[in-house]
């Protein structure tokens, strides 16, 4: 049971007591004269927003005043953007994402091996709201590569953990099939993470395409269903695979499981080969009432680390990639000069990130038309001496992928240029994730993603005519912040004020299910569906 903060109780009181006399006000902040847009109700009107504490108390056309007045004339006032796919919770990256209008960052793909450790670490120390999935890759690294659970607790350090798992020259998590004992241990850690409040059950199976039995995926999706959690996957047989197959084959694996289980599913960055087909699949399943949706980032290049399993010597995927054309050094922004130089750097610096071209340019112009889809940047932290860049770091020092600074800037610029209704893009950026998690009972998402009275005041104020990314793959410009977003609030506190990120505030809240005080029992509820069901005499040994 959740206890509401005192401010909410006061707010409720105010809703009743103050509604007839708004001039007496008492608002901490008022945002006036903006185009207030709510993607859930489709409310779209010039109005004034009154905030008390962490809540939106009033949305009205009447004049209101408060402790601080923001004039939003000519600007859209919308629910803060919810990024469903962030692997970095570091200070600089949060600042960069705040400037892009983001108020919540969640990892539904790579995840953590230790949900309790992750939430403890970020409590009271986060600019933006933060939420974490229990993750296949880090759990496999703990169980199969012997990594420390704490080391694999935070995807901000994912490049370190991948490097550590590869230290003996063999990333067991990525390429090996677990023993039956390891399978059980993996499942147990997953269930513990769910009990600890993970927002999703997350899998980067695309990085372990040949080491993961389909039954392992089915088990993970059964676990997710058992607790009604979202299952997130970077599906296998992706664009770097040499198989004569469409990408959608690996996606159909998790979709089939979800359909059989009536489970919830988010498909990570669907924008590879077959994306239009996968989009249609998810739209048709949404029509049938299933909690299934996709997510994308607006970029034709991916951003793995140089020793990502698909690029290790001898891997079949290398046949489809031209290292001197498709693979870019993040330090120079240019392709590698030779295969030798690439493999030398892979040996010397396995955690180093790279950019890799995976998709044709024209797709970038097609994706913004997709509806009811989440938008995320898939940020991976740039680690300096093993640590994420501190919040004070200048934007020009960033060497990560430019999409991390400009994802929402890009999609809103595209929407403007293509004449896509603003509400459609606000729906994608703010409401889609909140809507689906609301259906799955996540309270933190039932009070976000909406511009409505009583909701948490996570708000982004932007100029629809000006909003655009300024980041580009060019030394010094990778981290340039999005323009046209003067104000961003998290829980009623400014994290961007007059276009400048605030460095001294940490209003970010945990996005998390309540902790359940049970032990994992690994009961996947599948007895009734086994071939011996109803015939106890033929039940196989060991079940
Ligand atoms: Zn991914």
Span from the CA of 381 to the centroid of ligand 1 (angstroms) = 14
Residue 536's pLDDT is what? Answer: 74
Q: How far apart are CA 225 and CA 491, in angstroms?
A: 31
* Lookup result for tokens 């590698």: 336
- How many whole angstroms from 19 Cα to the centroid of ligand 1? 47
Distance (angstroms) between ligand 1 centre and the Cα of 86 equals: 10
Which H or E run contains 32?
Answer: strand 27-38
Do the bridges between strand 102-112 and strand 81-83 make them parallel or antiparallel, or are there none, so unpaired? parallel
Cα–ligand 1 centroid distance for 268 (angstroms): 6
Ligand 1 centre to CA of 320 (Å) is 19
- Ligand 1: distance of its center to the CA of 30 in Å? 39
Q: Is 496 exposed, middle or buried (0-12, 13-18, 19+ CB in 10 A)?
A: buried
Sign of dihedral through CA atoms 200, 206, 212, 214? positive
Span from the CA of 117 to the centroid of ligand 1 (angstroms): 23
Please tell me the distance from the alpha carbon of residue 130 to that of residue 132, in angstroms, as a whole number: 7
Residue 245: per-residue pLDDT:
52
In angstroms, what is the span from residue 193 Cα to ligand 1's centroid? 20
Distance (angstroms) between ligand 1 centre and the Cα of 491 equals: 29
User: Token digits for 157?
Assistant: 């350090």
The whole-model pTM stands at: 0.92
> Could you tell me the distance, in angstroms and rounded to a whole number, from the CA of residue 300 to the centre of ligand 1?
13
**Residue 295 and residue 374 in contact, taking contact as beta carbons nearer than 8 Å:** yes
Q: How far is the centre of ligand 1, averaged over its atoms, from the C-alpha of 331 (Å)?
A: 22
Distance between Cα 466 and ligand 1 center (Å): 30
The secondary structure of 403-462 as a DSSP string is: HHHHHHHHHHHHHHHHT--HHHHHIIIIIHHHHHHHHTT-HHHHTSS--STTSB--EEEE
Q: 205 C-alpha to center of ligand 1: Å?
A: 9
How far away, in angstroms, is 532 Cα from ligand 1 center? 38
For ligand 1, the distance from its centroid to the CA atom of residue 436, given in whole angstroms, is: 20
Please tell me the distance between residue 234's alpha carbon and the centre of ligand 1 in angstroms: 5
What is the Å distance from ligand 1's center to 140 Cα?
16
The reported pLDDT for the residue numbered 246 is 60
Distance, C-alpha 295 to centroid of its chain: 9
Q: Structure tokens of 109? A: 């793909």
Q: Calculate how far, in angstroms, residue 254's C-alpha sits from the geometric centre of ligand 1.
A: 15
Rounded Cα distance between 541 and 543, Å, is 6
Whole-number Å distance between alpha carbons of 538 and 180: 22
Report phi then psi at 137, rounded to 5: -60, -55
Tell me the CA–centroid distance for residue 474 and ligand 1, in Å. 23
Q: Compute the distance from residue 286 Cα to the ligand 1 centre, in Å.
A: 23
**Predicted pLDDT of residue 351:** 76
* CA pair distance 165, 167, nearest whole angstrom: 6
CA pair distance 234, 304, nearest whole angstrom: 13
Cα 238 to ligand 1 centroid, rounded to whole Å: 10
In order, the DSSP letters of 127-181 are: SSEEEEEEEHHHHHHHHHH---TTTTS-GGGHHHHHHHHTTTS--HHHHPPPPHH
Give the tokens for residue 27.
Answer: 């608002």
Cα 156 to ligand 1 centroid, rounded to whole Å: 14
Q: How far is the CA of 74 from the centre of ligand 1 (A)?
A: 37
pLDDT for the residue 543: 57
Backbone torsions φ then ψ of 304, nearest 5 degrees: -85, -175
Q: Which helix (H) or strand (E) holds 186?
A: helix 180-195
State how far the Cα of 245 lies from the Cα of 249, in Å rounded to an integer.
Answer: 7
Q: How far is the CA of 75 from the centre of ligand 1 (A)?
A: 33
Report the separation in Å between the CA atom of 356 and the middle of ligand 1, taken as the mean of its atom positions.
Answer: 13
- Structural domains in the chain, sorted by start: 6-74 (2.30.40.10), 80-300+359-448 (3.20.20.140), 306-357 (no CATH)
Return the biggest CA–CA distance within the chain.
77
* Residue 118 CA to ligand 1 centre (angstroms): 20
For residue 311, report the distance from its CA to the centre of ligand 1, in Å: 15
Q: At what angle do helices 214-226 and 248-261 cross, to 10 degrees?
A: 40
Q: Which pLDDT score, from 0 to 100, does residue 241 have?
A: 64
Ligand 1: centre distance to CA 27 (Å): 42
Q: How far apart are CA 96 and CA 388, in angstroms?
A: 13
- Quote the ligand 1 centre to 188 CA distance (angstroms): 24
The alpha carbon of 357 and the centre of ligand 1 are apart by a number of angstroms equal to 14
DSSP 76-138: EEEEPEEESBB----HHHHHHHHHTTEEEEEEEEEEES-HHHHHHHHTT--SSEEEEEEEHHH
Distance between Cα 480 and ligand 1 center (Å): 23
Residue numbers in the chain where pLDDT is lower than 50? 1-24
C-alpha to C-alpha distance for 511 and 115, rounded to whole angstroms: 12
């Amino acid at each position: 049971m959740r206890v509401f903060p005192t401010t909410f109780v006061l707010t409720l009181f105010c809703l009743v007591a103050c509604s007839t006399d708004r001039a007496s006000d008492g608002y901490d902040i008022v945002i006036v004269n903006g185009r207030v847009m709510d993607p859930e109700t489709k409310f779209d009107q010039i109005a004034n927003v009154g905030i008390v504490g962490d809540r939106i108390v009033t949305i009205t056309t009447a004049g209101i005043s408060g402790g601080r007045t923001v004039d939003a004339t000519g600007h859209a006032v919308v629910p803060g953007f919810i990024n469903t796919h962030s692997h970095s919770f570091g200070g600089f990256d949060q600042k960069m994402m705040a400037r892009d209008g983001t108020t919540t960052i969640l990892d539904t793909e790579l995840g953590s091996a230790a949900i309790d450790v992750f939430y403890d670490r970020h409590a009271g120390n986060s600019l933006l709201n933060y939420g974490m999935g229990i993750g296949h890759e880090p759990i496999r690294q703990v169980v199969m590569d012997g990594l420390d659970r704490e080391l694999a607790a935070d995807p901000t350090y994912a490049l370190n953990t991948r490097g550590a798992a590869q230290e003996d020259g063999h990333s067991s998590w990525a390429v090996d099939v677990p023993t039956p004992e390891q399978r059980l241990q993996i499942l147990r850690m997953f269930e513990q993470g769910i009990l600890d409040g993970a927002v999703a059950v997350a899998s980067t199976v695309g990085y372990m395409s040949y080491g993961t039995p389909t039954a392992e995926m089915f088990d993970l999706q059964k676990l997710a269903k058992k607790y009604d959690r979202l299952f997130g996957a970077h599906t296998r047989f992706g664009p770097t695979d040499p198989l004569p197959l469409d990408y959608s084959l690996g996606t159909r694996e998790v979709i089939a499981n979800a359909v059989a289980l009536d489970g919830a599913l988010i498909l990570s960055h669907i924008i590879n080969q077959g994306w239009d087909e996968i989009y249609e699949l998810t739209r048709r399943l949404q029509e049938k009432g299933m909690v299934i949706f996709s997510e994308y980032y607006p970029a034709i290049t991916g951003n793995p680390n140089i020793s990502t399993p698909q690029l290790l010597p001898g891997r079949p995927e290398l046949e489809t990639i031209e290292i001197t054309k498709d693979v870019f050094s993040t330090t120079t922004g240019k392709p590698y000069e030779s295969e030798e130089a690439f493999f030398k750097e892979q040996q010397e610096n396995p955690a180093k990130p790279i950019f890799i071209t995976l998709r044709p340019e024209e797709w970038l112009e097609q994706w913004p038309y997709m509806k009811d889809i989440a938008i995320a940047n898939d940020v991976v932290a740039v680690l300096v001496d093993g640590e994420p860049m501190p919040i004070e770091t200048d934007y020009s020092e960033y060497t990560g992928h430019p999409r991390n600074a400009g994802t929402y800037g890009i999609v809103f610029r595209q929407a403007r240029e293509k004449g896509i209704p603003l509400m459609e893009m606000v729906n994608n950026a703010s409401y889609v994730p909140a809507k689906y998690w609301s259906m799955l009972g996540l309270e933190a998402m039932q009070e976000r993603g909406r511009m409505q009275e009583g909701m948490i005041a996570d708000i982004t104020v932007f100029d629809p005519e000006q909003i655009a990314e300024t980041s580009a793959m060019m030394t010094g410009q990778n981290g340039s912040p999005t323009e046209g977003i003067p104000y961003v609030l998290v829980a009623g506190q400014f994290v961007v004020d007059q276009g400048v990120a605030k460095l001294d505030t940490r209003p970010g809240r945990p996005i998390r299910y309540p902790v359940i005080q049970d032990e994992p029992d690994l009961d996947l509820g599948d007895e009734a569906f086994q071939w011996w069901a109803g015939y106890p005499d033929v039940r196989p040994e060991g079940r």
